[in-house]
Amino acid sequence: MDPRVAWIQPEQKGPANALWMHVWETSQGHHNQNQNHNQCVNYPASDVFKNVAAVVASSTSLCSSSNGNVTRDQVHPSVPVNHTHSHHPGRRKSDNKASTYGMNYLLSNCTNGNYASSWTPWKTRKYNPGVLGLHEEVMDFYNFMSPRPEEAAMRKEVVNRIEMVIKELWPTADVQIFGSFSTGLYLPTSDIDLVVFGKWERPPLQELEQALRKHNVAEPFSVKVLDKATVPIIKLTDQETEVKVDISFNVETGVKAASFIKDYKYPVLPYLIFVLKQFLLQRDLNEVFTGGISSYSLILMVISFLQLHPRIDARNPNENLGVLLIEFFELYGRHFNYLKTGIRIKNGGAYMAKEEIMKAMTNGYRPSMLCIEDPLLPGNDVGRSSYGAMHVKHVFDYAYTVLGHAVSPLARSYPNKDSESTLGRIIRLTQEVIDYREWIIKKWGGKHLSNNAENLILYYLSLVVSPPKEPVSEPESGCVLSVGVEEQQRDSVSPHSADSPMSISSPQQHSSASSVSSLSGSDNVRKHSQRMNTQTVIADACQF
């Protein structure tokens, strides 16, 4: 079992897992430094299994603690340092706090239920069986992972800190936020995208780099100037918060893309995006330079999936999220023809032959494996830098298989089926991410409350001094930054409410007569899957 893609499922725990982990680590060169595994080549089979037994015993000892905690000395060498689950903002971290690489060794032969449940903190109740339960769990995951006011306040503080440095250099420069922080679709460890508008012949990358170092805004060795990239940027990690920031100059496409995404906010879109972003993030497939796909590409894929779905109405907030999630993995993991088919979003969406998309391309570019036409710039292939698109397809197919089995009637006979998480079979949260969020709430919670109190005082003072002629609504106490309004209001108004306002720019008219929202069992999923295999939309995606 490749830990870069999958991990041990609850019903698979046993001594065989330790043997397989031993074989996989040996093939990858992940040897325990205290043992000479190379001797196994010349040793008899009995000695090899003695070594495996030692591995099994050591893995079992990791889980013997009643509270499930693992100390640094107990962690296997294949587990990154950040998996020791101790957050301290002052020390250097690995690049991805959310990475689940190495989890298999910790899960192998673990019998402690508390330890297993610590990876799925959003699961606080018992769910219905089948896809209905998966729907409920996706909602809980979204509510748990959605940005909190303290996280928005922290990020706004990071932006202000960098903006002060920029304004000191260029007082007339305009700093704007785009990307996931602008749309509100950001995870706890997502980066911040900034663009600086001003009058320069060339992007002043080195000048800003020196200023950032001078003011100690970034961690000492985190500032990187990528002046040879297609879009030259400065990458840094904030010194105080460990938030990663990308800064570009005079690039309007990012701001326009954020505005475009807001226009396409179907009620179900944020729920799917949060699950899929976490799914890719923990597998290090959320960045194009590691072979993954960008957030923009992922959002366009989800929009296309919703646009061209033959039965669901994307405007209906009551669609079954469990079914939609499984179908998304099925489409892009099993059926989509990456060799010949491209994705078009504009004009209601369509699957296009790559030859047609190539006609609009310039500079000799050809459609990539994951070809997504940029709705804002038709000649641009959004997925052209995702060189690992086939690996993403592979993990999507894996997720489809795992979730399909998990919602089947057979899953009802699994041991501890009520305590295990269905969504947790493909998504886990590391303790470091949980600790990081708690640290943010503890540090920025007071600041958030004081800012809200100050805003309310100023508001009521303005009423006394100059009463408004028109009715004025009170400022929201739960929103620090005026971005991602729907997400910030999640605790008080459910996006699944029929009264929830959503802006849709070009939705297709779908028939809701055969809505899948009522599916609640694997038989329905199986029948639904059979229909999906013969649907016209799937045929369109595969025929070119």
φ/ψ bin of 236: left (φ > 0), alpha (ψ from -120 to 50), beta (otherwise): beta
Of 13, 9, 3, 7, nearest to 110 (Cα)?
13
pLDDT at 37 over 70: no
pLDDT in tens, 54-93: 544 544 444 444 444 444 334 433 344 444 334 434 333 4
pLDDT in tens, 456-493: 555 544 444 444 444 334 334 333 333 333 333 434 33
Backbone angles phi, psi at 331, to 5 degrees: -65, -55
| Whole-number pLDDT of residue 198 | 95
pLDDT in tens, 353-411: 999 999 888 777 889 999 999 999 988 999 988 999 999 999 999 999 999 999 988 87
The verdict on domain 265-419+523-543 having CATH code 1.10.1410.10 is yes
φ/ψ bin of 215: left (φ > 0), alpha (ψ from -120 to 50), beta (otherwise): alpha
pLDDT band, residue 150 (cuts 50/70/90): very high
CA–CA distance, 52 with 20 (Å, rounded to integer): 9
Q: Which two tokens stand for residue 305?
A: 């999936």
Backbone angles phi, psi at 309, to 5 degrees: -65, 130
pLDDT in tens, 295-350: 999 999 999 999 999 888 888 888 999 999 999 999 999 999 999 999 999 999 99
CA–CA distance, 427 with 409 (Å, rounded to integer): 22
Q: Which two tokens stand for residue 371?
A: 């070809």
CA–CA distance, 287 with 284 (Å, rounded to integer): 7
pLDDT in tens, 152-180: 999 999 999 999 999 999 999 999 999 99
DSSP tally for the chain: helices H, then strands E: 18, 7
* Sequence-ordered strand ranges (E) for 273-411: 341-344, 350-353
pLDDT at 541 over 70: no
Statement: the pTM of the whole predicted model exceeds 0.95: no
Max mean pLDDT among 168-182, 281-295, 510-524 falls in 168-182
Residue extent(s) of CATH 1.10.1410.10 domains in the chain: 265-419+523-543
- Which residues are CB-neighbours of 16 under 8 A, at least 6 positions away? none
